[in-house]
Amino acid sequence: MMAGGREGYLGVAEKGPQGAAGWILFMVLWPLSCLYRLVVGLRNLAFDVGLCKMYRSSLPVISVGNLTAGGTGKTPMVDFLLKRLVQRGVSCAVVSRGYGGSFSGEIGRVNPVNGPLMSPDACGDEPLLLARRNPGVPVFVARRRSRGVAEAEKSGARLILLDDGFQHRAVHRDLDIVLLDGRHPFGNGSLLPAGLLREPTSALRRCHLVVLTRVEADRQIALSCSAPVLRSRHVLSDRLVSLDNASISWDDLAGKSCLAFAGIARPAEFFRTIESHGIRLSGVLSLDDHQGYDAALLKRLREACHSCDVLLTTEKDAVKLKPNDVPVPCYQVAVDLVFEDAAPLDRMLEELIERSKYADFPGPP
């Protein structure tokens, strides 16, 4: 989708239609949203009454998901949980759908014990990013995530994280975490494609914890939800890391001509965040979410380098690039999740950690 069209669509989906063009787009998409609601409702009913079965792991399972499409910060949240659990000495594993990857096998391990990492084209950018940021944590991709969970049980893990799992009800979870964007928690209130909702807001009754992301410090947000609600924000790292692992600070970019590019759900927000650090961008390049970097796009990037000193991009994009792909330094901007108060989450984690000690599991094959 072209950048202008994407921004126009997101404006309608997040805030509702404005102007004649916005209303025309909304009314064209609204019948599709009604059909989508029917399909989602029937699927959830099948699980509620037991027509569709759930795989119940012998280990505690944490699901991180969202109620809306894209851009709430699931990957930083999974990374936050992994680091929290590993610090407590818990052996974890991650199971992902591997969205955007071409892997067609039953189960793939992104970071084999005695082998190279899977390519981002095969496993998808987000599983590879999690594997890189958390060495030693097994990361699996599986189209049928119940099989991925079963494989994770055999890896020696004591606790399993299910990435983007809220709508994936075929796996039972012991802690269901749902992320909502604090600025537009439910978009315009409509389901896809007229809005951003993957499910009606009533689906929140299934979750155990809601995490509001990108929350402004002084903004109060009221949710009709019985689960605890935590507030968080995304913070850019103080250091930027190049494709060949050299590290610099933001101050090192002073006086340099910087061009930013991003293939994420909301690239414009990434560009604004960079500029909030005092960086004046000479240009931006908005790409599709989970963008593949083929020869044509790499050529486009190299041509853009003629007018800049430095390239800036997301970690999600950087895992798909090599140092010699571009002729100027390219730095990845890491994003971390910071909570106003993580104590309720820590209590939930401690309960699962205690349960994991006594779980009956098959262990390594």
Provide the pairing of β-strand 209-213 with 229-236: parallel
Chain segment 92-131, per-residue pLDDT in tens: 999 999 988 999 999 999 999 988 999 999 999 999 999 9
The CATH superfamily of 61-234+338-356 is P-loop containing nucleotide triphosphate hydrolases (3.40.50.300)
| Amino acid in position 284 | V
Residue 247 burial (CB count, 10 A): 12
Chain segment 124-139, per-residue pLDDT in tens: 999 999 999 999 999 9
H/E element, 350? helix 343-356
Give the pLDDT confidence score for residue 8 in this predicted structure. 82
CB-based burial, 61-77: b 16+ in 10 Å, e otherwise: bbbbbbbbbebbbbbbb
Strands, DSSP E only, in the chain?
A: 61-66, 92-96, 108-109, 139-141, 159-163, 175-181, 209-213, 229-236, 239-242, 247-249, 258-262, 281-286, 310-314, 330-333, 335-339
Give the pLDDT confidence score for residue 362 in this predicted structure. 52
Give the pLDDT confidence score for residue 357 in this predicted structure. 82
Chain segment 325-357, per-residue pLDDT in tens: 999 999 999 988 999 999 999 999 999 999 998
Per-residue confidence band for 4, with pLDDT thresholds at 50, 70 and 90: low
CB-based burial, 99-128: b 16+ in 10 Å, e otherwise: ebbebeeebbbbbeeeeebbebbbbbbbbb
For the chain, the distance separating the N- and C-terminal CA atoms, rounded to the nearest angstrom, is 45
Provide the pairing of β-strand 335-339 with 229-236: antiparallel
Domains 61-234+338-356 and 238-333 share a fold: yes
187-206: average pLDDT: 96
Give the pLDDT confidence score for residue 222 in this predicted structure. 75
Give the pLDDT confidence score for residue 359 in this predicted structure. 72
Out of 3.30.1360, 3.90.660, 3.40.50, 3.30.450, the CATH code matching 238-333 is 3.40.50
Query: Tokens 């993957």 — which residue?
Result: 198
Structure token pair of residue 340: 């106003």
Say which range, 54-68, 149-163, 222-236, has the weakest mean pLDDT: 222-236
> Is the CB of residue 323 less than 8 Å from the CB of residue 243?
yes
Give the pLDDT confidence score for residue 3 in this predicted structure. 55
Query: Tokens 């901007």 — which residue?
Result: 333
Q: Where are the domains of the chain?
A: 61-234+338-356, 238-333
Angle between helices 74-87 and 125-133 (to 10 degrees): 30
DSSP code per residue over 272-295: HHHHTTT--EEEEEE--TT----H
- Which distant-in-sequence residues (6+ apart) come within 8 Å of 136 by Cβ? 86
217-225: average pLDDT: 77
Give the pLDDT confidence score for residue 216 in this predicted structure. 80
Give the pLDDT confidence score for residue 352 in this predicted structure. 96
| Number of residues in the chain | 365
56-79: average pLDDT: 94
